[in-house]
Structure 1
Amino acid sequence: MPELPEVEVTRRSVAPVLEGALVRAVRVGAALRWPLGADPASLVGLRIGALLRRGKYLWLPLLGKDGAPQGGLLLHLGMSGSLALLREPGPPGKHEHFDLVTDAGTLRLTDPRRFGAVVWSPALDQGMAERLLARLGHEPFDPALTPALLHQGLQRRRVPVKAALLAGDIVVGAGNIYACEALYEAGIDPRAPANTLSLARCERLLQALRATLARALDLGGSTLRDFRDAHGMSGAFQDQAGVYGREGQDCRRCGTAVQRLVQGQRSTFFCPRCQRR
């Protein structure tokens, strides 16, 4: 699944081209998770404002001729979706379910499993966008997210710490790959009950999460199957992962074999020696 770094990499790859672009047409293909929520024809003639990201969602604000806000499109890539910015798009293929045609190129959503979404909302804090974003936790790089705040949030959870991170209502962006890596960097066993972590361990965890996500952004995210940015470039984070996808291989720190277990139907990778409960 595209996680926060992949979505941010996508945003960065399309924003310089799309911001200010004029919408010429909108094509809606097979149904995605939710309906568009607007007549596609009503979006023609609007301009795209400054693209934003919230968690794993992208927000494309739309502006009228006078620059007044006219709502916007909230996009989610689902389990296997990707966006491509095409100068000369061919006919849409079987899994290409949405086109936003502009004078700067066509933004095309490819989503084989159709778990993604493109929905119109009157504003980021209204309508469907408000409903989808309401329960998201702090952005990982938000200065307001302190170790004390993370500690406070985890104190209310008796589930394994990795599950608490994946829930996304304390901090967003710690998807499966990056939660495994951050816990490894912080030396915390993914099975440790969230409410047993001390403030000092929460401080290490927050530092590790930020460092892990920053490194992933620098490397263009992770490409495990088919992720590409909007210009077709693959990510390289997976090549430097400490534990993720390395079951049976030597830990890069201590040489102990990396182990794999399943938590909440997701694979978890960890070093049994470096990571303590």
Structure 2
Amino acid sequence: MTSSVDFNTGRVVRGDEPATAIDIKLRRRRLVSSVLRYSVLTIVGLVMLYPLIWLIGASFKTNAEIFASPSFWPDQPTLSGYINGWETSTPYTFARFFWNTFLIITPKVIGTAISCTLVAYGFARFDFPGKKILFATVIATLLLPNVVTRIPQYLLFRDIGWLDSFLPLWVPSAVAGDAFFVFMLIQFLRAIPRDMEEAARVDGANTLQTLVYIVVPLLMPAIISVCLFQFMWTMNDFLGPLIYISSVENYPVSLALKLSIDTTEAFDWNQILAMSVLTLAPSLVVFFIAQKYFIEGISTGGVKG
């Protein structure tokens, strides 16, 4: 009696045992396993996405229907929540608040990408006096809650005269004030071999040219991940603008949503939900566009060169 190894399945097939029967059994097992796996994942995914689905559906309901109907899809869809919510109760529409958010996010993301890359490159590639102490200080700031530094930062920006402007939100990011991103980029840089950098130096490239033309292209997935994190965190930031910005004309959307809640009268929940959907839309769009680079950047950080 002879036997052979099926390299596709890893099983030993006897000479008197039909291979087709074994293949059919294995295919059935794989099919049942796949069906069960994807069924569980689908159910878990729907449970996690249900609040978002309900939010979108409720934004097309009237204020009365939100509490009268438990279903997520409206019986009589209406755009009144979007129309009235866009106008707001102030002299400004939500277009102004979205523009303010854009003015905050763009310099903050660009400043974070440039400054954190420079600082991380210095820590990862150079030896200088006090490097260990400085790096330990950077890591120590990760252990401090943000609320601990709020009062000193507020007093500093007040004395400088930057209150009620975007500068308190821009400047810390422009000087690598986000220690998490510095630490994250350092880990990515440690996973990148130095061979290409050494070859560029042999060819006469200076430090800045090596960084721009050699390191940054290799580091691009990590930089995109940093920009994506900063974008989403800034979109969701409520406390920072609340502390430093006092004029309604400078409010971002995170503060503008608070304007829709009146403490003296009944809430127009359909307007609040409609503007919440519009506020979430940019983060979702940016994430789905950049998710390929984001996943690549996260996976690259775990590979040692």
TM-score between the two structures when normalised by the length of structure 2: 0.23
Higher relative contact order (CA 8 A, sep 6+): 2
TM-score between the two structures when normalised by the length of structure 1: 0.24
Larger Rg: 2
